[in-house]
Amino acid sequence: MRKVGKVYAYITHEERLLVFKHVDFPEAGIQVPGGTLDAGERPEDAVLREACEETGLRGLVMNKYLGSDEFLDKSTKPNKYLVRHFFHLICPYEASENWQYYEHYPSDGSPGPILFEFCWLPLAEAIGKLDRYFVTMLDRLPDNLTGEQL
């Protein structure tokens, strides 16, 4: 069975989490940026690359590796064994409240570009809106989402 590495970014600015939806596929639910590791790529490099490719944000700061999980994804044919890595990234500057951005080269092989619509949500609100697939490691985010020492 094929093993596929995935990375996901919980990107925060102050006390808010960046989320998005697929403009043309609203049934995909509310998500966080992420994607597939390229051959030989380290997860920490992949998450920064994917976050930039999907959001258009530059200069994101790696704060913390939150952990990983593994499971058999039966939603695809053929089935895949997924290894998902979750990271906390910080946007160190004031970004727009909401924006649209195209991912030109989707890692799932679908024809690009794909239009995403981004917004910042307070963490408690995001937890209630995120698709269940993406909430796995939210409880591991640090209490201080800015990354600054208290």
Residue 16 phi, psi (nearest 5)? -120, 150
pTM equals 0.91
Q: What is the pLDDT averaged over residues 128-140? A: 91
Extract the tokens encoding 76: 């695809």
DSSP state of 128: H
The pLDDT tens digits for 58-106 are 999 999 999 999 988 887 778 888 999 999 999 999 999 999 999 887 7
Q: What is the pLDDT averaged over residues 29-49? A: 96
Extract the tokens encoding 84: 């998902």
| 3-140 under CATH 3.40.228.10, yes or no | no
Q: What is the pLDDT of residue 146?
A: 67
Average pLDDT score over the chain: 90
Helix, strand, or coil (residue 116): strand
